[in-house]
Amino acid sequence: LSCHSLHVELVTAHKGLSVTMKLAILFSVIASAFAFAPANTDSKSTALNAFEEELGSQPPLGFFDPLGLVSDGNQANFDRLRYVEIKHGRVSMLAVVGYLITEAGVRLPGNIDLAGDSFGDIPSGFKAISALPGGGLLQLFAFVGLLEIFVMKDITGGEFIGDFRNGFIDYGWDKLDKGTQTEKRAIELNQGRAAMMGILALMVHEKLGVSLLPGVSYN
């Protein structure tokens, strides 16, 4: 009787395992079918056709939108993201320059507060935040806020996204031909993209304690 019971249990287990394997195979086939099914590329094609001639769409990547942020071809959405990209690029370029200058030991002359602390006493990198006097941080944030609200914005309606001249500062821009203007704007855009990656790398490596700069140690 015990042998018969054991045989029944083995047969039952075998059937259960067989069913499980078949279900697993079925699910794998279904998943594979979905994986190789043709994707809906209409929206991406629309965006590609709409923005492939925009500034910044250049070799080797061309129009590059892996997250599909403008896959609907919405021009207003693209303009807003381009504005943010240019603005962050400009801030990042200033950040990289400031980071390299302070790491090189360049400081303003004189004292930073009435207590007699000099600018030279302030370290570089993240350590500067805790070393700065409270009043200095307040002035810094107030100055950035002033630029954000009243200066670094398109007030008069510029010729292109990111045109903050507002009829005041030109530096000979209007004397350049259209081809040179487009080239200059593309250079700024690409350098801003590189600077965003650059300042991120500098900050991350500083927190990791591994400097990207020769002769600099965070230990």
Instruction: State yes or no: pLDDT of 32 exceeds 60.
Output: no
What's the one-letter identity of residue 198? G
Are 153 and 164 in contact by the 8 Å Cβ rule? The answer is yes
- Per cent of the chain over pLDDT 90 is 43
Does residue 29 or residue 180 have the better pLDDT? Answer: 180
- The set of residues, in sequence order, having a beta carbon less than 8 Å from that of 218 and lying 6+ positions away, is 125, 206, 209, 210, 211
pLDDT tens digits, 116-152: 989 999 999 999 999 999 888 999 999 999 988 888 8
Does residue 17 or residue 177 have the better pLDDT? Answer: 177
Taking CB atoms within 8 Å and a gap of at least 24, the contacts of 113-116 are none
Give the DSSP letter string of 44-71: HHHHHHHHTTSTT-BTTTBS--TT-TTT
Instruction: State yes or no: pLDDT of 11 exceeds 70.
Output: no
- pLDDT value, residue 131: 93
Confidence class of residue 214 from pLDDT cuts 50, 70 and 90? confident
C-alpha angle 91-92-94 in degrees, rounded to nearest 5:
65
d(CA 66, CA 70): 10
Phi first, then psi: give them for residue 58, nearest 5 degrees.
-150, 165
d(CA 211, CA 119): 23
